[in-house]
A = this chain, B = another copy of it.
C-alpha cells in the first residue's frame, strides 16, 4: 500500500493516514486484573500474535514504565494514581501514532480506569478484565507477593487488604485458569477482528 493517497490534518499526518499506512485501526486495550492474574504475560502474547499479523502492537507494563517514565513514583495512593494517569497519556500518544497498545496494570479502581477511558476517542479504549480468581492468582504467586502480603510485609496489597474493583461491563473478559495462553490471546485477537480493528487473515 502506498501512502500517496492519504489525507492530511492541519498540515500534519492524520489518524486516517496512519491507519491506511499500517493497514489496521489504532486502539488502547487496557488489561486490568489482580497481581498474578496473567495480565502482562497475556498482553505480550497478544502483542506477538498481532505482530505476526503485521500489526503495529506494543505493550506498556510495569517492566518498561516503572524503571523509566515512572521511576520517580512510589507506591502511595497518589503515586499509583499518577502512575495510571501517565500510562494512559503515553497510551494515547501511541494510539495517535497508529499503534494497538496493550496496557497491563492492576489498576484496581473504577474511577482511575474511567478517567483514562475519558481521554480516548469513543470506541478506541477497550477494557479487558483478566478475571483470574484470586485463589488461582495466590496459588501461582509468581513473585511471592501474596505470601509476603499474607505475612504482613506488604500493606495495602490489592485483593488482600486493599480492594480490587472489578469492571462491571468490560469489552472483553478473560479467565486464564486452565486455558492455554495462546488460546486466551487468540480470544482477544478474535475480538479485535470482529470489531473491525484488525483484518481477518486472508
A interface, CB within 8 angstroms of B: 1-4, 6, 8, 11-13, 17-18, 21-22, 44, 47-48, 51-54, 56-60, 64-65, 68-69, 72, 82, 86, 89-90, 92-94, 96-99, 119
* Cβ contact within 8 Å between B48 and A2: no
Whose C-beta in chain B lies nearest to the C-beta of A12?
Answer: B44
- With A8-B48, A51-B18: A97-B96 Cβ-Cβ less than 8 Å: no
- With A93-B64, A97-B99: A12-B56 Cβ-Cβ less than 8 Å: no
* Cβ contact within 8 Å between B48 and A68: no
* Cβ contact within 8 Å between A12 and B92: no
Q: What is the bound-complex CA distance between A68 and B59, given in angstroms?
A: 20
Query: Which residues of B are found within 8 Å of A11, using beta-carbon distances?
Result: 44, 48
Q: What is the bound-complex CA distance between A38 and B38, given in angstroms?
A: 46
Nearest CB of B to A129, in Å: 23
Nearest CB of B to A30, in Å: 16
- Checking B8, B56, B93 against A98 with a beta-carbon cut-off of 8 angstroms, the contacting residue is B56
